[in-house]
Structure 1
Amino acid sequence: MSSVRRRMANLANSVCLKHSVSLWFPHQSPAAHRSSSIGFRTFHRSYVVSSSSFSNENREFVIVGGGNAAGYAARTFVEHGMADGRLAIVSKEAHAPYERPALTKGYLFPLDKKPARLPGFHTCVGSGGERQTPDWYKENGIEMFYEDLVSNIDIEKQTLTTNSGKLLKYGSLIVATGCTASRLPEKIGGNLPGVHYIRDVADADALISSLIVFPENYLLQRLFTPSLARRYEEFYQQNGVKFLKGASIKNLEAGVDGRVTYVKLDDGSTIEADTVIIGIGAKPAVSPFERVGLESSVGGIQVDGLFRTRVPGIFAVGDVAAFPLKMYNRIARVEHVDHARRSAQHCVKALLSAQTDIWRDH
């Protein structure tokens, strides 16, 4: 082992021994969907890097994910002086972490309205923080693995395997994988060319929508009152958007060129379309972390008030985390950018200090 790697391994051991890691044993099944007093057992854990076969030089902390939560977690590590030479991030994205809400907002503005483009909305500009470009990660000694997915986790050996064949070692792991877009079934045309799902920059490129089809009686029924929904509908209609209320899609059909051409509705009517954007919700991206512990009621990876999973040294934050919401005495999973930011920050502080307060509300 080189002197640099030996020093890194020794440093990793000293930090892991300094900070305790807790294993959570809930008093009742997660399916009960109610939180209660939680008992903890504390384990002190260390590991030794004895081989150069790992793809990541920075083996103490690893974040899996490339969205808001990953970017804000990285910033918190930097703020506490624990990133340089210690942190690695694995992301399926081709870009450094960015403020994902921009994809369905400023990114789709017409050119004369100055649409959002990278590097303009890298984290953490959404909260008034520093713009963390790829150079920012290099300057802070953070190792980045772009365009790669984690395909397997070995909890006992504390290793991750990626689709590209990389073997990564971790001391503490933060799962910040977020959600994946819910898709229409392939048998009704959900994967036809011209059908889009907006979850990343590639999805959002060159898209514009002129017709919205939804089964409810008014827009965003889950979020808006009827009067507020009407105000939004009027605004959109003034800008050329049409609404089909109470309508459901039966299937999508392709033309002679193989691209989507028609949208068939349940009432038998047909809409011509050369581009279809599907927005039917999202699912927590838990694979391949199912063994860490899933929450059966709201989905996602179950964590405690410090975002610790049942497995020592593994944490989950953001959209994928199902945490105890004390205000309503239940387990919750929140798909909101503010929760992604704040849960990531709170998790890193909890990881680095046993004195961090319990998370009580987003």
Structure 2
Amino acid sequence: MQKLVIAGGGQAGFALAAKARSLCPDSEITLICEEPDLPYQRPPLSKKYLRNEMAREQLYLRPEGYYTDQGITLIRGHSARKIDRDAKRLLLLDNQAFAYDQLALTTGARPRRLPPAVGGDLPGVYYLRNLQDVDRMAPEFQAGRRVLVIGGGYIGLEAAAVAANSDLSVTLVEMAPRILQRVAAPETSDFFRTLHQTRGVDIREGIGLDRLERNKTITARFSDGTAQEVDFVIVGIGIEPNDALARDAGLPCDGGIVVDKYGRTSDRNIWAAGDCTRLPYRENMIRLESVQNAIDQAEAVAANMLGQETDYVPNPWFWSDQFDVKLQIAGLNTGYDRVVVRQAARGGQSNWYFQGERLLAVDAMNDPRGYMIGKRLIEAGRSPEQAQVSDPDADLKALL
């Protein structure tokens, strides 16, 4: 009987355990979760759960009885400390040890934090990654309070949108010259800047944070010499992969746990999936921070752990909800040299990224049709005529 041990109880860890059980009814599966809650979905945390529109139990991927029924041993509230590769054992912080035939690392990622010298650990400064983070932050969301959001990526913008919808006074600062600079074209940045500003969010770009000071309230001092008094702060400046467990075990890490096309590390008995991994994509090694990749890669790894050896080929897609706009992204825009803008019905828009004549990615804002067709083209390796894309009267379906 195969002993499969999974370190990390997020979306990837759950997907891997569930897939492994469906493929191998007789295997012994242990899923180790650092958090005390049952494995849960994260995307609603910064949206419906923060707005109190979703109960805690609705976040859970499965009820507790599922794990018993499936014969999955669920260990909650415990962290892995060390991998003993010679003995093939995973040791926890409380010195429990689990022998494995195959070990999967689905340790996820953690928020990048402000240094303590800048005030990153002050009371009233929050980071948004897990259920406990949101529970601690939620009481601050009261109408009329003032919040500073640090970071103009998708997490920061989603938090700003929820705060503005809750009638808070919202200021967002981004050190880069524009919001979303790391992940999107100026055309997408412009769309979301306008959206937030029309909803009352004060967006300040090209401004860094010097420090936070705490008295009865928090004073934020910025790189341009200005200062602002706020009631609390949300920090959204990116995430870092939880790869220390792998690194300490001597496994190659490079901004994430390095895996091959099967999801295997340099140790033939140790695998990894989800936000913690660095995986092959086209001619590069990348890290994909998305629920879709966590699920798909984990399911592929589960099959490969059990002997299938099937290549995992990512088909990246992402989404973000801000106010009444649904952003859907297909593909990766790395290396683009042109953006073609297509106007859609009812104020929607899609931005199509090309490298030469090759379609790389699509950002679709309230344009589900543009997203669907763009995604299908990218996955098929086909590129449409750019003039057709930009023509709002052209039938997108004809591009297929």
2:220 pairs with one of 249, 263, 271: 263
1:332 is displaced (CA, Å) by 1.4
1:100 is displaced (CA, Å) by 1.4
TM-score by length of 2: 0.67
Tell whether the 8 Å contact from 2:49 to 2:56 is kept in structure 1 after alignment. Answer: no
1:114-150 deviation per Cα after TM superposition (whole angstroms, max 9, x unaligned): x233221333xxxxxxxx1222112211111111111
Tell whether the 8 Å contact from 1:292 to 1:309 is kept in structure 2 after alignment. Answer: no
1:338 pairs with one of 284, 292, 300: 292
Match of 1:116 in 2: 54
1:283 and 2:260 are equivalent in the alignment: no
Tell whether the 8 Å contact from 2:21 to 2:27 is kept in structure 1 after alignment. Answer: no
Tell whether the 8 Å contact from 1:85 to 1:142 is kept in structure 2 after alignment. Answer: no
Task: Give the 5 Å matches for 1:20-59.
Answer: none
1:274 and 2:216 are equivalent in the alignment: no
1:249-268 deviation per Cα after TM superposition (whole angstroms, max 9, x unaligned): 00111115xxx611111112
Match of 1:55 in 2: none
Equivalent position SS for 2:126 = strand
TM-score by length of 1: 0.74
1:85 is displaced (CA, Å) by 6.5
Q: Distance in 2 between matches of 1:152 and 1:66?
A: 17
1:224 pairs with one of 165, 184, 188: 184
More strand by percentage: 2
1:229 is displaced (CA, Å) by 2.2
Q: Distance in 1 between matches of 2:204 and 2:55?
A: 31
List alignment gaps of at least 5 residues for structure 2.
Answer: 142-162, 164-169, 316-400
1:330-357 deviation per Cα after TM superposition (whole angstroms, max 9, x unaligned): 2111111111110000000111133x42
Higher mean alpha-carbon deviation, 92-101 vs 278-287, is at 92-101
Match of 1:68 in 2: 11
Match of 2:209 in 1: 249
1:53-105 deviation per Cα after TM superposition (whole angstroms, max 9, x unaligned): xxxxxxx11111121101111220232243x6711111111112222122222
Q: Distance in 1 between matches of 2:207 and 2:78?
A: 39
1:229-288 deviation per Cα after TM superposition (whole angstroms, max 9, x unaligned): 2322233234332211111100111115xxx61111111211112211111111110122
Aligned residue type for 1:121? L
1:94 and 2:24 are equivalent in the alignment: no
Task: Give the 5 Å matches for 1:128-147.
Answer: 132-147=62-77
Task: Give the 5 Å matches for 1:7-18.
Answer: 11-12=1-2
Aligned residue type for 2:293? H
How many equivalent residue pairs?
A: 284
1:5-45 deviation per Cα after TM superposition (whole angstroms, max 9, x unaligned): xxxxxx34xxxxxxxxxxxxxxxxxxxxxxxxxxxxxxxxx
Equivalent position SS for 2:192 = helix
1:320 is displaced (CA, Å) by 1.1
Higher mean alpha-carbon deviation, 170-179 vs 221-230, is at 221-230
